[in-house]
Amino acid sequence: MSTLLAVVHDDDLGMAYADHPADRRRHQLAVALARGAGVLDSPGVAVVPAPGPMADDMLATMFAPAFIRAIKAFSARPVLAAAPEARQWGVTGDVHPYEDMHRDSARLAAAAWVAGEMVGTGGVLRAIVPAGGAHHGLPHKMSGFGVYNDTAVAIHALRASGIQRIAYVDLDVHHGDGTQGTFWNHPDVLTVSVHESGRYLFPNSGFPDETGGPDAPGSAVNLALPPEAGDDAYRLAMDRVVVPAVRAFRPEVLVTQCGVDHHHADPLSHLRTTMAVYPYLWAGLAGLADECCGGRWVALAGGGYDPCNAPPRAWAMLMAEMARVPMPHAMPDDWPSIATLAGCGSPATGWFSEPDLHEVLARSEDTLNAVGEAIEATRQASALLA
């Protein structure tokens, strides 16, 4: 196999909501930074242009035809999204319907399908869609900032390629409810989500007792962390929940949603992780892919809503890990100018540089106890971890 990693990317891929947290600069800068660090020029790495929008008949194999028609109607006339009936399709103020909403989401779906298909058919060992990671939508409803759930599309593509057992790991600060719901009753798809508890954060789900449908008991694993949990909580989550659950499931391919919106500078969450935790998480996922799946791995980037801070650095590190390329000690010389041209006022000067972390790193005893209790609750609820 000549291609180790395919990066499915175009700078104009992704949703283009006006004045919205889902800013295309997140993945544009991540790819630019990975390129500047030499990752994309490494042997075995290929940048694959994103395809055009997925055709309606193909989308309809995964999403309700009436839902697709509704999204196309709201895209053609965004004013229709203000009508009460739009709510049945999940259209809310979070997504600001716009003229190319269907097209842009159908392109993301197509990119995720290509990534899954390439890995599933053996064309590449690993693939990443830096603009992907929409994980809240269901087959009949959009949710969060996404329309057509592209993490679910990647899994569908793998299944269509003949892959039987797939483990999906979601590290986004928000529960991966849509992907869990899509495969709730599929015993051959494991969904593992580590997130801030739904008691405090959208989508208000993802509790330990959500363990799979009647025909797939134990196929869902949820770790709901308390606010301010921090880096050590994510490290424990990998060691005590993610790794043992995936090992026990014995998948053929690993699919991951690698959101970094738990970073302390993110405006939409409260878990307060730092840049230091991301290499640990990415290495843990890479180890699982190698140990359980012969290296086969599909990654979607996910959340991260401070576009100039954590997402570019964390996802460039992710691409390096997937490509088995060591990161240079210093960031590329042209990074400050690239980030400044993208509208970043104070670009990071180092891979792990942060503002004063004293307050960010502080943890109360109550928080530490709550983290331990959350992990234990998940382990008790999951048949894979018993």
pLDDT tens, position by position, 262-287: 999 999 999 999 999 999 999 999 99
Q: Which of 9, 135, 136, 195 is catalytic?
A: 136
The CA-based angle 94-96-99, given to 5 degrees, is 150
pLDDT at 361 exceeding the cut of 90: no
Is residue 352 included in any domain, yes or no?
no
The Cα–Cα gap between 253 and 212 comes to: 20
Instruction: List pLDDT tens digits, range 186-206.
Output: 999 999 999 999 999 999 999
DSSP-derived letter for residue 86 is G
Write out the DSSP string of 216-264: STT-EEEEEEPTT-HHHHHHHHIIIIIHHHHHHH--SEEEEE---TTBT
Determine the Cα–Cα distance for residues 10 and 51; give it in Å rounded to an integer: 9
List, in order, residues 6 or more apart from 356 with CB less than 8 Å away: none
Q: 191: domain range?
A: 5-332+363-381
339 lies in some domain? no
Classify residue 232: in a domain, yes or no. yes
CATH classification of the domain holding 219: 3.40.800.20
Question: pLDDT grade, residue 93 (50/70/90)?
Answer: low
Which residue bears the tokens 């869990």? Answer: 180
Looking at residue 75, what is its pLDDT?
A: 92
Taking residues 291-296, what's their average pLDDT?
Answer: 98
Catalytic residue check, 135:
no
The backbone region for 292, taken as left when phi is positive above 0, alpha when psi lies in -120 to 50, beta otherwise, is alpha
Is residue 50 a part of any domain in this protein?
yes
Encoding tokens for residue 14? 């992704």
d(CA 192, CA 89): 26
Q: Are 110 and 52 in contact (CB under 8 A)?
A: yes
The tokens 């424990």 sit on which residue?
236
Q: Are 305 and 264 in contact (CB under 8 A)?
A: no
Query: How far is 237 from 378, CA to CA, in rounded Å?
Result: 10
Place of tokens 């409810």: 177
At 242, the pLDDT band (50, 70, 90 cuts) reads very high
Lowest mean pLDDT among 13-22, 178-187, 255-264, 328-337: 13-22
Structure tokens at 21: 């947290």
The type of residue at 108 is L
In a domain, 357, yes or no: no
Please answer whether residues 347 and 337 qualify as being in contact, where contact means their C-beta atoms are separated by less than 8 angstroms: no
- Strand, coil or helix: 312: helix
Report strand pairing: 253-257 vs 297-300. Answer: parallel
pLDDT value of position 355: 80
pTM: 0.97
Give the count of beta carbons closer than 10 Å to the beta carbon of residue 185: 14
User: How far apart, in whole angstroms, are the C-alpha atoms of residue 206 and residue 132?
Assistant: 21
pLDDT at 97 over 90: no
In this structure, is residue 370 part of a structural domain? yes
pLDDT of residue 34: 98
Judge whether 203 lies within some domain: yes
Q: List, for residues 304-347, the tens digit of each pLDDT value.
A: 999 999 999 999 999 999 999 999 999 999 999 999 999 998 89
Is 347 within the bounds of a domain?
A: no
**CA–CA separation, 30 vs 300, rounded Å?**
13
Q: What is the CA radius of gyration of the chain?
A: 19
For the chain, the average pLDDT equals 95
Kindly tell me if the per-residue pLDDT of 80 is higher than 90. no
Give how many domains the chain has, as a whole number: 1
Q: What is the CB neighbour count within 10 angstroms for residue 253?
A: 27
Whole-angstrom distance, CA of residue 208 vs CA of residue 218:
11
